[in-house]
Amino acid sequence: MRADFETIAVSRQDDHILLVTLNRPEVSNAMNTRMGFDLMELFETLSIDLEGLRAAIITGSGKKAFCAGGDLKERNGMTDESWRSQHAIFERMVRAIMGCPIPLLAAVNGAAYAGGCEIAAASDFVYAATNARFALTEVTLGIMPGAGGTQNLARAVGERRAKEIILSGLPFTAEEAQAWGLVNRVVEPSELLATTIGMAQRIAANGPIAVRQAKQAIHRGMQMSLSDGLAFEIEAYNRLVSTEDRREGVLAFNEKRKPVFRGR
């Protein structure tokens, strides 16, 4: 994959971890059309070729914001047609993020408003700094969440809480986000990235095929009945039986050593 994006910074951590940084700090990392294209390209590329990656982290540049949502200065004066065209890019972007085949951890380092909150909710799970704030403010502008917010937030915090958050547009703290189920862990700002990388490293040390299959079983199973989800789980499980990694994991356990997984 290329690394010379205009609005995001991309780097590898420990070979198997990808760090994606929303990189428009002068506007609180607000999403413009270019950022939509950049994120869409990156995550669609991951769906085609992982290049040995086993986990990814998304965060924001600077100390002020994770992502302030859509760039309203760019949107000012847009025609209805232009607005819909831009939003189609954001829709495809969030579907690419949600379709990331490897675990995606959000490290929310500041304000995650509107589309920023939606990116966090579209990730597999979220770590947040104590100074992070969340909100879905779209209704205050006469629109509504349209990048998965009404669906992913409701699945994370429940229908009634999601209605309160979305219909009011009120911001909430990292601690509230954790209590409600959107955030997994709250840490000091200085510890956020190291903590998130540490968890990504732990995930990356596990069997990569097993991790990807388990992620799919959880996510897709949540959209199914229990009986269908159990059937999907077994199909995912059976794909692991004939892998080299499965044999290596059992052998390493019996030899009392750390397994060396190769993703085969």
Q: Which positions are annotated as active-site residues? A: 118, 138
Question: HSE on the CB side for 16, CA within 13 Å?
Answer: 18
| In 123-173, alpha helices (H) | 154-157, 159-168
Residues 44 and 50: beta-carbon distance below 8 Å: no
How far apart, in whole angstroms, are the C-alpha atoms of residue 191 and residue 112?
Answer: 18
Give the SS3 label for residue 221. helix
Structural tokens at position 117: 């909150």
How far apart, in whole angstroms, are the C-alpha atoms of residue 156 and residue 115?
Answer: 16
Give the SS3 label for residue 169. coil
CB atoms < 10 A from the CB of 29, how many? 30
**First-last CA distance in the chain:** 21
Question: HSE on the CB side for 229, CA within 13 Å?
Answer: 13
Nearest to 115 by CA among 82, 68, 154: 68
Structural tokens at position 187: 């840490």
Q: What is the DSSP annotation of 97-132?
A: HHT-SS-EEEEE-SEEETHHHHHHHHSSEEEEETT-
